[in-house]
Structure 1
């Protein structure tokens, strides 16, 4: 039976980042991924990095391409009632900024770093199953090329996403889950057209929410709120461009450059938290533990703060023979998770039109937006949350 110190299930950004930090510290790891490397890299995900995420990548020697290609944003805009209002993120948060750099690119950089290190990753590992994590001798089994493999370890890190095996392996009575499913989705497109602005624009309109963002100076990412039963086939490009122009302010609509999309998808929105995040010698990390609607751009960033907390605990365990960091992991991570869930919920409820929204609800939403852009205290609260709360 093979043995490592830590088995990491899942090769998304959280699993790869954790593996990178531990490998640099001399801790033996293996990453097991049930998909192919090409499949993982093909997933289109978020692209906004908090200051803390950028700092984590820099501190671990992973920001070379990020620093060359990332787009630093010092502000963002809210558009409603026909007007656009800029929020000075850097000025209101003590100089913190956010950076546009696609999650796919983060994953690519992490994969390249792991390959260069020689640390093992097993792709297309089938039937990955954690065992014995409630005792002193955890192990993980998987099937590769028809053969069953077994790995003994000290700890298991479940970084395998919302649908992964890690959380599903926890006995039902040992875990609590909290969830809110939103009654709409986001229709998103990618197009090789220049962004309409150098910063993000979040729009609230009578027709629903819209977001203007980007992946580079020549590639734009746009979203519109849509019913959950809509299909991508219902939204040819011409309809999409017409609709988003109706939802933003007139200057933005006039400046928008359109073109054929090369990726189009509809994503449902939900808030989800599982707790605790530790079950004996197995820890849940990232989407395995929590999901947030993309409105606040917190998904990847929360995963990276989870990684920071768990890595600190593991380094303390192996370096100082102390269990304090691992014992504190769940509480530390959940404290930040719930604050991010609250912020994402607030942004979502403030900017979207809900099917059951009453006239009273609508006026409250309008008052919320009007107060936000007229109060430095309110804008400071948004900025502090948007650039990332302290880790």
Structure 2
């Protein structure tokens, strides 16, 4: 049965990679793909007038915990389409022993899911998952990567003393082997030392990701007014940096110090889990609000939850509003709202602009959002 063509009109496009950025093009969709962006076509199509709201490629959250079977996990839809996010990336909730059941559950959700496979077989079914070296099973990991190559976009290692115990080298060595073998990035959570950054970052190369890059703990990326040499070297090798706000991992002071010292970053993510969805994070859009309050231009913010995410995890035909791309889109408003948010240090961030999602399209199918 032939599907109808959809036309979204009167939306202000936010896509810095498009010639139509900040204009109101007609966006035509058929069979889950964008088939035309630009002038009105003389074709039969179902028209949706979005009345001067903004529209962008579907927001993607690079760091979430979207597996409800682990103690800190939420559901993909709870932090996905219901919050304006069309694709969430679960960051290490699953290891080789608990990934099958999570994958089996995915068809029940409207939100798309990708995942970083935890180097530990137990994933986040326990929170010291790297302390026991016997739980790192390279062959089991290989088997799951081969089985779920379309879903697994990288390998996750959490580099904190409470997670690793005394096992501070094996997880990195094994993750490096897998990443190189399957051309996958490693996402490393940095936090409380040990290990210190001088012990962690040398394992990472081009396309690998440091999440929680602006946490405020003692082992942070800046020392006074300067970026640590090991951090500069990592950036020069092409290591990517991600916000990963979470409940304990974003300091506006570290962020300001680092940006002032010349450190850049690629992606904005929430690290949403059960411990921070009721504050201080709430949603990816609330993190986006904070970034605008910290002087990042709003179209730059959108780029870091769309195009940049797709580039890093190699999601072909995602992250742009262009012909041939997947028809995942987010409709939103920029509302003037004076609110007080908190970073993970419980320091106030005064926001005046709010990203308010109205609807998403996933493969061209509309999902309306309740903002009550």
Question: How does the TM-score come out when normalised to structure 1?
Answer: 0.21
Greater percentage in helix: 1
